[in-house]
Structures are given as C-alpha cells and as structure tokens.
Amino acid sequence: GDSVTQTEGLVTVTEGLPVKLNCTYQTTYLTIAFFWYVQYLNEAPQVLLKSSTDNKRTEHQGFHATLHKSSSSFHLQKSSAQLSDSALYYCALSDLTGGNNKLTFGQGTVLSVIP
C-alpha cells in the first residue's frame, strides 16, 4: 500500500511572505504521479499541480513543487503568499500501476494568509 503525510494541520503566514507546505510519502508502487489539490470553502477539490518526473520543478498559479524520489517528498511552495491563497491543500499520490488510477490523499493542510 501507500501513504501520504502532511505534517502541518495549519500553516499561518503573513501576506507577501513565502510559504511552504510539506508532503512526504511512502509507496511500493513503481508507476506513480503526485498532485496538489486545493479546496476552497464549500467548493470541490481542484487540481493545482501534478508531476511524475523526478527532480523536475512544476509551476502553476505562482505555486511550485518538485518531486524528489530520493527523499520521498513533494513539498508545495510559493514565494509570496496572497490572501486569496487561504484554503485547504491536499497532497495526493496516484498509483498508475497496471492501468490503475486512484488517488491516496494526505490529511490536508489549512493555509491561512493574514494581512
């Protein structure tokens, strides 16, 4: 099986400062992809970033993440947090072995950006 760990339940950051949300994983699967999903209040989770390539930086909407298989991590970062970034963020691992396509989610991290 596999698991995803997000160590922080809540991250609070001041607007304009950098932010980092941690994500580590354990898996025995060989064919995998990683995602960050964002869920705004009373809305559906939506994909923010995805990656399956080791050591390649992926960027979207000012956020970036790099998959590091050597450390089993896929941390999410942004250089300057905005008030509108306040939301619930999930890291997720997708097992693609044998044509499968199912996501395993972490516990989620609430990002609160304050003025």
Partner 1 sequence: EAGVTQSPRYAVLQEGQAVSFWCDPISGHDTLYWYQQPRDQGPQLLVYFRDEAVIDNSQLPSDRFSAVRPKGTNSTLKIQSAKQGDTATYLCASSLNSGNTLYFGEGSRLIVV
Locate tokens 């991590």: which residue?
73
**8 A C-beta contact, residue 76 and residue 21:** yes
| 106 near partner 1 (CB under 8 A) | yes
CB under 8 A: which stretch of 17-25, 45-53, 61-69, 70-78 binds partner 1? 45-53
| 29 near partner 1 (CB under 8 A) | no
Both tokens of 20, joined, read 């980092």
Task: For residue 54, give every residue at least 6 positions away whose Cβ sits within 8 Å of its Cβ, in sequence order, or none.
Answer: 67, 68, 69, 70
Closest distance of CB 69 from partner 1, Å: 17
Residues that bind partner 1 in the complex, under the rule CB under 8 A: 4, 9, 33, 35, 37, 42-47, 50, 90, 94, 96, 99-108
